[in-house]
A = this chain, B = another copy of it.
Amino acid sequence: MTSALFQLVTPAEALARLFERLPAPRAVERVGLTEAVGRWTAAPIAAPEPSPAFVRSAMDGYAVRAADTFGASEGLPAYLRVCGETPMGRAAELPVAPGEAQLIHTGGMLPPGADAVVMVEYTQPIDDDAIEVVRPAAPGANVVQAGEDLQPGDLVLPAGQRLRAQDAGVLAALGITEVEAAVRPRVGVLSSGDEIVPPQAAPGPGRVRDVNSTTLTALARAAGAEACAYGVAPDDRAELERRARAALAACDLLVISAGSSVSARDVTADVIAALGAPGVLAHGLAVKPGKPTIAALAGGTPVFGLPGNPVSAMVVFGLLVAPTIARLLGAPSVPEPRLTRARLTRNLSSQTGRLDFVPAALTRRGGEWWAEPVLGKSNLIATMVRASGMVRIPLDAGGAAEGAWVDVERF
């Protein structure tokens, strides 16, 4: 390890060092559409057939020969004889002869002879057998041609696209009911610290319950991984390494949250460095809170050492671990956080060259969001329960003034 590793790096730099060394794409599996939503396509998906497969009406109205409507107006309507109704869900066989119109519904197949649809709003019934048309329809009006949407072989979704509900719907329309996606990575979460006991335990004197197993497991699931908590290890190098190796053997990504003492962090750093090559890629993040962070790769498996403070651990999870999970799931780039613009209720100072996150409560005043920083002593309830998001003070901003617009990452 060179000393460069121990200079503070930006989250982008830490991810770049990690991603350029990650092994080739992971195993893919075929999954049903509902299970595929939220995951990234592992291969491009082409249309197997034209869409639509037949000429369809895009409106409720009458299938006509466009030429029969040319020149039609309110003052001089075209009179057409109604030749029945186009069936839904069957081939339209009854032709439309010159001077005729056939009642048709949205999605109905255009009958032979017809080349346009007149919207029902532009027609007027004369009697059971005839209508007036008060506007002309151009050939192809209100009609979707076969293959107009997609031709066989057209790209529907590129590889590396995150599937949303409607993308799955489009695949269903094309008869594609399974998708290739990377197998969900298994994320191991290991807490450490002599002062930490599991949430179920009664902490003795000087001890506190483990928070990070709960928060980080929940965040890993929300990021699309399978998550498994590996309990709490003591600040003992041999025991922590044994527990870390056991988790590593079963996981595709390992997160260790360090004990809060300096020596505990040193133990964690030593253990992570020993887990496998290439080892530590970044040690120290130019982020507040989140500086005592380690990003490493051990035999192809990403390993993160996160700060023990629950708020810091959550911040770094969002900056490094969630994007790495997305990468393992096939995301081609780091997903952009969805930021809410809000105005600050007070000045915030920040150090240039450092990305700062400040917990804040969002309130709506008129049409604007205002972010009220939750300051004071680090306090679980105030910073974690009352805050509705984290104000992001960019790397080179050097703070933000009261009333300034800032980006808030909402929880």
Interface residues in chain A, defined as those with a beta carbon under 8 Å from any beta carbon in chain B: 33-34, 37, 51-54, 58, 60, 87-92, 105-109, 144, 148-150, 156-157, 164-175, 177, 193-196, 199-219, 221-222, 227, 235, 259-264, 308-311, 314, 338, 340-341, 377-382, 384-385, 410-411
B194 A172 Cβ-Cβ under 8 A: no
Q: Quick one: given A157-B385, A385-B166, are A195 and B259 in contact (CB under 8 Å)?
A: no
In the bound complex, CA of A106 to CA of B258 (Å): 12
A169 B384 Cβ-Cβ under 8 A: yes
In the bound complex, CA of A284 to CA of B245 (Å): 60
Pick the residue among B170, B340, B411 that contacts A164 (CB under 8 A): B411
Q: List 26 A-B contacts (CB under 8 A).
A: A34-B214, A34-B217, A34-B218, A88-B259, A90-B194, A90-B206, A91-B206, A106-B260, A106-B308, A107-B260, A144-B379, A149-B379, A165-B214, A165-B215, A165-B218, A165-B219, A166-B384, A168-B218, A170-B211, A172-B214, A173-B209, A174-B209, A175-B209, A177-B200, A338-B410, A341-B341
Q: Quick one: given A193-B88, A206-B54, A262-B60, are A381 and B37 in contact (CB under 8 Å)?
A: no
In the bound complex, CA of A270 to CA of B6 (Å): 71
B209 A381 Cβ-Cβ under 8 A: no
**How many copies altogether?**
2
A60 B199 Cβ-Cβ under 8 A: no
CB distance from A339 to the nearest CB of B (A): 8
Residues of chain B within 8 A (CB-CB) of A263 are 105
Residues of chain B within 8 A (CB-CB) of A37 are 218, 221-222
In the bound complex, CA of A53 to CA of B202 (Å): 11
Residues of chain B within 8 A (CB-CB) of A157 are 385
B58 A384 Cβ-Cβ under 8 A: no
A168 B214 Cβ-Cβ under 8 A: yes
A338 B341 Cβ-Cβ under 8 A: no
